[in-house]
Amino acid sequence: MLSSAPSLLSIPSVDIIDEHLSVPLAEDRPDLVHLPEEKYPREIEAKKPDQGYYIALGVILSVWMITPLSCAYLVWYIVLGGGMSGQGGLSAMLFAGYALAEVVFAIYHHYLILFVQSASPSSNLPLEVRYSLFLRVLAAGLTCSVPTPPRYDPEGSLFELPQKLYDRYASGQIAAAQYHCLFDSENNERMGLRNRRRVDKTTGEESEDISGFMEDEPRERDKTLGDEVEGDVGTLEQWDEDGIVDRDGNATMLHPYDPRAVEFRERFRTWFNHAPWSLIKKHNVLIWLSWSSFNLPLEDARANPVLSTFLDRSFELLEARTGTTLPEGFDRTISTMRLTIDPVNAKGRPLLLYAISSGVNWWLREVVYRFQGMSLHREGPIEYLIRIPKGWTPDKGRTHPSAMPIVYLHGLGFGLMQNHLLIKHLIQSLPTHPLVVPLAHHTAHALFHERHLRPWTRTELVETMKGICRRWGFWQEPQTGMGQGKSDIGGVSLMSHSNGSVAHGWILKDCPSLAARNTFVDPVVFCLWEGDVCWSFCYRRPSKALELLLYYFVASEVGIANYIQRHFDWADNTLFFDEIPHATNPHNTAFFLGAKDIILDASRVRIYLERHGMRAGTHWDSNGSHGDILLSGDLRDRVAKFVGTGRTHGDHGSLQEEGR
């Protein structure tokens, strides 16, 4: 039933929200645990499976074996169990019926796996958009990060230098750009990459002549040079182009040992299964460029003169960014990750698994959540659950801080069954906020749903969310020239977990006025160009229990694999920092990251955010893993607080202090 009105059972009034905030709120603190220094080249060693791996393997085999055992039982029942003569008992006949269903389903499931192998269509983005996007990717990491206090290393010969420079930066004598410039210059000299500065050997008479050119005020020259450096750095956009494209549009190459070039090379080789940079050749990179730019094999792209010219230009810029000239040729020992061209990595599983997950999700959707005030509706092609509190009105939602509507976009897995504890917590801890949960059936083992193999498109999701928010009075489309304020437009508190950040990013890019507050938990949309998410989810060989369970129960499910490997457009799905409204306001935007995340490289995401000035809104858990928010605990409480209030901290400390 999709049209019933939201139930008002057990929904308290907006006026009593304070009773449900069990932990008093405190000011957010911007201090973060320092990340260890990245060391290059990275060594990705093949890990041996641990004890937990074999326990997880046993669980998976016990599930997977249901199908072959059903086939064996069916053969036994027909040949030896009296099935042909009708002499088998009722229980044997029922088991035979179930076994037959599993065998038939296995054939159908295998057909689905073959069906989703069809190649996905080529990208339809205009060349100008592709080129602009490619430049933005190359520019990532060229900006100056905010200097942080250096960590003492008794064995490090360079500790004294960054400490002196940081003291000058902290006292306001030099800016961030000057800090990095001076550090890199001195570091290059020590490494022999730049000639040492000449030592003054003038005589006393010569020194007197030179003294006439000395500055009248202390540090007058430093200030003048500082102003010139800052003026040369200019805006973020100008700085981003440094080392890649000059003012005439020509590619200019970074030094091979420039830290920015080294960092980019080390991250870029992830797309080649972490092959050593010295082995990667021009043709290997062109194959990757053809896929990433057009979703085409290199041969098809080369057949089009326009696309071929685009590839050559992109390759030239890529070489400039890496600071190296790649050798001609092709290394066949190197495997290139081409997510939407490589075979879909879907594995078989029994009908029973789908039946259990679908049954639990139906029970939660139609029974449990109804008693908690939620009801099921449809807007266009998308179904969603919604809870409207008693006494809530659109005016309260736009003016009262304790009545802002909340939209939760869940990630991959088992749908409501996997997210139940979190949704239940949001219902109970934020009783005065409307709550909307769009149901992503293509990522929820929803084999029996019509959208199981037809994921949302960007247009479908954004238009549907706009329709939902207009229908319930959460938001209205801004009118040009009408002088509307926030209270006139409204907006929602958007919260996403993992792959839900893809839809979150679509909304921010196509309808930013809809999001009044943004909460990203384990987001996968940042730094997608570095390949860590792609490698961890689809190409990594599991060696730990969680990795193996993730691989079988999530990554290799046919609906999820179809979505990731045939409908995942990285150009659409990548979110850049400047596309987030009010990104640096810690009460409007928050990022929750766990250092032990097994899907995304959380350290790299944090570095990316910090390079854009985001610290106060970054919440770092030194012991956090991917999906911790779905379980009970302190993290879930803090996320819920921020979603509803724009604050996270209470009396029992700060996530940002963990791991110290």
Residue 355 DSSP SS3: helix
User: Which of these ranges, 123-137, 185-199, 443-457, has the smallest mean pLDDT?
Assistant: 185-199
Measured torsion, CA atoms of residues 274, 277, 283, 286, in degrees rounded to the nearest 10: 70
Give the integer Cα–Cα distance in Å for 629 and 418.
Answer: 11
Is 482 a residue whose pLDDT tops 60? no
- Using CB atoms within 10 Å of the CB of residue 203, give its burial: 0 to 12 exposed, 13 to 18 middle, 19+ buried: exposed
Per-residue pLDDT for 302 more than 90? yes
| CATH code of the domain occupying 14-27+362-477+484-657 | 3.40.50.1820
Strands 515-521 and 435-438: unpaired
- Does 31 score more than 60 pLDDT? no
DSSP H helical segments within 410-499, as ranges?
Answer: 416-429, 458-471, 486-489
> In the predicted model, is pLDDT for residue 92 greater than 70?
yes
Residue 197 confidence (pLDDT): 43
Does residue 536 have a pLDDT over 90?
yes
> Is the pLDDT confidence value at 449 over 90?
yes
At residue 655, does pLDDT exceed 50?
no
Q: Residue 650's pLDDT is what?
A: 53
Q: Give the mean pLDDT of the chain.
A: 82
- Which stretch of 74-83, 150-159, 249-258, 354-363 has the lowest confidence by average pLDDT? 150-159
Q: What would the mean pLDDT of 478-497 be, rounded to a whole number?
A: 73
Judged against a pLDDT cut of 90, whether residue 616 lies above it is answered with no
- The residue ranking higher by pLDDT, 258 or 354, is 354
| Whole-angstrom distance, CA of residue 547 vs CA of residue 555 | 10
Its pTM stands at: 0.81
Q: Is residue 193 predicted with pLDDT exceeding 70? A: no
H or E element in which residue 317 lies: helix 305-322
Indicate where the chain has its CATH 3.40.50.1820 domain(s): 14-27+362-477+484-657
Q: What three-state secondary structure class fits 345?
A: coil
